[in-house]
């Protein structure tokens, strides 16, 4: 949906121009060639992004946290020496951890102008969808991420299964013993991909421009028909989603190829930069 409108235009010269671009896409994989259960669209560590009949295109599939029937996280019990307790356990089924496609995307541009002066701003929206972050994965694996900064007085929020003599699980009890920092931050080494699937939503203040266009009377003795000076800032600010800020990555710079599935994979992208520049526009 594309809308281009001028909500306000006065005789004094003030004008407000607005442009809205909105898109929403919903897909389902209907069928594949006979004998093919799924197509791997992209690999993500021990998981993949796939297309499977009956599912949405672009599901992220891999290991999740092992949970109790009521959703509590399961951790390991300590050994005879009291070590190794509190380590999160992976559920190694083909768990759907999210889908790479956003719920909707939009761009909103507004321009206010009055007697040669103009101010414009462009906002980009991407709401919904998931992303597998390799940056978060490797930061966790190497102990250099913000999620690994806390290394003392660690307490697990998981539970330990209680088994009877036949080895059947009869219940769960909270684990309140000590936790080794390496065990506490073991999601990468344990292959728990769910931990590295983050919300891909963002709002980006893509561009702000402040400009002045000289009147024709000032240009009468010059060889120009139009002169405009502008101060332009690009990629100034991202709103929401603390995961991207903590990781130091740009949410809209994740894909490294034109493959559709790559929108769901962040592959150690370079930290974003904002730019501020001055433009001189001359028309002869």
Across 206-228, average pLDDT: 82
Burial classification of residue 59, based on how many CB atoms lie within 10 Å of its CB (0-12 exposed, 13-18 middle, 19 or more buried): buried
**What does the pLDDT read at residue 256?**
56
More confident residue, 151 or 95: 95
Across 73-79, average pLDDT: 90
In angstroms, the CA 249 to CA 272 distance is 6
% of the chain residues with pLDDT over 90: 57
Across 33-44, average pLDDT: 92
SS3 for 59? strand
Q: What is the DSSP letter of 11?
A: T
Q: What is the pLDDT of residues 154-189, one digit of tens each?
A: 888 899 999 888 888 889 999 988 888 888 888 999
- Per-residue pLDDT band at 196 (split at 50, 70, 90): very high
Across 274-278, average pLDDT: 93
- Look at the block and give the residue holding tokens 């999210």: 98
Is pLDDT of 258 > 90?
Answer: no
Across 208-219, average pLDDT: 84
Arithmetic mean of pLDDT over the chain: 89
More confident residue, 118 or 221: 118
Is pLDDT of 261 > 80?
Answer: no
CB 200 within 8 A of CB 255: no
Planar angle of CA 45, 48, 50, nearest 5 degrees: 170
Structure tokens at 9: 């235009």
In angstroms, the CA 155 to CA 79 distance is 17
Residue 17 CB-half CA count within 13 A = 10
């Amino acid at each position: 949906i594309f809308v281009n409108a001028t909500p306000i235009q006065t005789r004094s010269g003030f004008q407000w121009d607005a442009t809205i671009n909105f898109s929403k896409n919903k897909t389902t994989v209907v069928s594949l060639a006979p004998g093919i259960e799924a197509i791997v669209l992209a690999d993500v560590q021990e998981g993949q992004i796939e297309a499977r009949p009956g599912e949405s295109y672009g599901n992220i599939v891999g290991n999740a946290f092992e949970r109790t029937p009521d959703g509590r996280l399961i951790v390991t019990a300590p050994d005879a020496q009291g070590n190794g307790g509190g380590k999160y356990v992976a559920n190694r089924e083909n768990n759907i951890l999210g889908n790479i496609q956003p719920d909707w995307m939009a761009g909103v541009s507004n321009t206010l102008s009055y007697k040669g002066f103009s101010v414009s701003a462009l906002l980009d929206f991407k709401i919904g969808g998931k992303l597998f972050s390799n940056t978060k994965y490797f930061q966790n694996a190497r102990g250099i991420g913000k999620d690994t900064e806390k290394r003392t007085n660690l307490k697990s929020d998981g539970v330990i299964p209680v088994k009877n003599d036949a080895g059947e699980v009869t219940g769960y009890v909270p684990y309140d013993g000590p936790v080794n920092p390496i065990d506490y931050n073991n999601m990468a080494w344990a292959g728990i991909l769910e931990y590295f699937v983050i919300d891909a939503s963002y709002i980006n203040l893509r561009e702000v421009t402040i400009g002045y266009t000289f009147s024709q009377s000032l240009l009468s003795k010059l060889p120009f028909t139009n002169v405009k000076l502008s101060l332009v800032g690009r990629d100034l600010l991202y709103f929401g989603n603390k995961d991207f800020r903590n990781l130091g990555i740009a949410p809209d710079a994740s894909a490294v190829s034109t493959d559709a599935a790559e929108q769901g994979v962040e592959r150690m992208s370079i930290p974003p930069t904002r730019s501020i520049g001055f433009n001189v526009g001359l028309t002869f």
